[in-house]
């Protein structure tokens, strides 16, 4: 009888320990891996800009670059990297720098100052193919050099003079729409800058 009570006490104690263990385990969540990230906003600056983007040009190109080693004038190994480049070129004018005088007596809007065109060229290079060899491995430095050359080639392929010329024409059309109210009030538009030749305005 005494042994039965001893066994019963032991089983009850073990059961209490099991319940206590699982209770603590669920509270402490020992089996699930937790992850915590702290996010801090360092700067949050918003700038209001009064820019008129008058033209955007998008181009794409492929470039294949070969790299190899020669022994006694004979090529023993070569690698190649094929890149795909997308380039966006924008022509814009900062209208905050445009100065206009209003001649209400003669019903004129006189443009006295017009900003120069701002041309922004943004190439984006993607690696399309890597043909590697065992003896001549392609390194990160090789990839960086190839992508940088692809960007430079893409930027040189953009005719900036043509962009400026086409941008002026488009600016003239856009200003024509901007000054539609002034023309409805029989105001004439006069360009004193000589930069865009506001014919038809």
What pLDDT does 51 receive?
83
Cα angle, residue 35 at apex, residues 43 and 32 outer, rounded to 5° = 165
Residue 92, pLDDT above cutoff 90: yes
What pLDDT does 35 receive?
47
**Domain extents in the chain:** 51-191
3-state helix, strand, coil in the chain (%, to 5): 35, 35, 30
The mean-pLDDT minimum among 2-6, 75-79, 118-122, 174-178 falls in 2-6
Q: Percent of the chain at pLDDT above 70?
A: 65
What pLDDT does 107 receive?
87
- 92 vs 2, higher pLDDT: 92
- 71 vs 101, higher pLDDT: 101
- Which residues are within 8 A (CB) of 163 and not within 5 positions of it... i.e. 6 or more apart? 55, 57, 89, 91, 117, 119
Residue 124, pLDDT above cutoff 90: yes
- What pLDDT digit, counting tens, does each position of 53-62 carry? 889 999 999 9
Q: Please give the helix or strand (H or E) that residue 155 lies within, else none.
A: helix 140-156
- Please state whether beta strands 108-113 and 188-191 pair in parallel, antiparallel, or not at all (unpaired): parallel
The mean-pLDDT minimum among 50-64, 97-111, 134-148, 151-165 falls in 134-148
Segment 133-160 mean pLDDT: 85
For tokens 């109210």, the residue is 181
What pLDDT does 108 receive?
86
CA–CA gap between residue 150 and residue 124 (Å, rounded): 9
CA–CA gap between residue 160 and residue 121 (Å, rounded): 9
Residue 16, pLDDT above cutoff 90: no
CA–CA gap between residue 148 and residue 145 (Å, rounded): 5
Q: Please give the helix or strand (H or E) that residue 87 lies within, else none.
A: strand 74-94
């Amino acid at each position: 009888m005494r042994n039965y009570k001893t066994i019963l006490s032991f089983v009850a104690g073990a059961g209490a320990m099991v319940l206590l263990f699982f209770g603590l385990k669920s509270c402490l969540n020992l089996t699930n891996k937790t992850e915590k990230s702290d996010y801090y906003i360092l700067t949050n600056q918003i700038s209001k800009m009064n820019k008129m983007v008058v033209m955007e040009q998008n181009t794409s190109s492929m470039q294949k670059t070969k790299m190899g080693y020669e022994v006694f004038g004979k090529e023993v190994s070569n690698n190649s990297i094929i890149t795909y480049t997308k380039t966006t070129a924008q022509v814009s004018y900062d209208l905050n720098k445009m100065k206009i005088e209003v001649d209400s007596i003669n019903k004129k809007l006189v443009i006295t100052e017009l900003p120069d065109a701002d041309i922004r060229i943004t190439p984006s290079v993607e690696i399309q193919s890597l043909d590697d060899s065992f003896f001549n491995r392609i390194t990160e430095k090789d990839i960086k050099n190839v992508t940088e050359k692809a960007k430079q080639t893409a930027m040189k392929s953009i005719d900036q003079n043509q962009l400026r010329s086409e941008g002026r024409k488009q600016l003239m059309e856009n200003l024509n729409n901007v000054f539609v109210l002034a023309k409805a009030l029989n105001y004439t538009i006069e360009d004193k800058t000589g930069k865009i030749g506001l014919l038809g305005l």
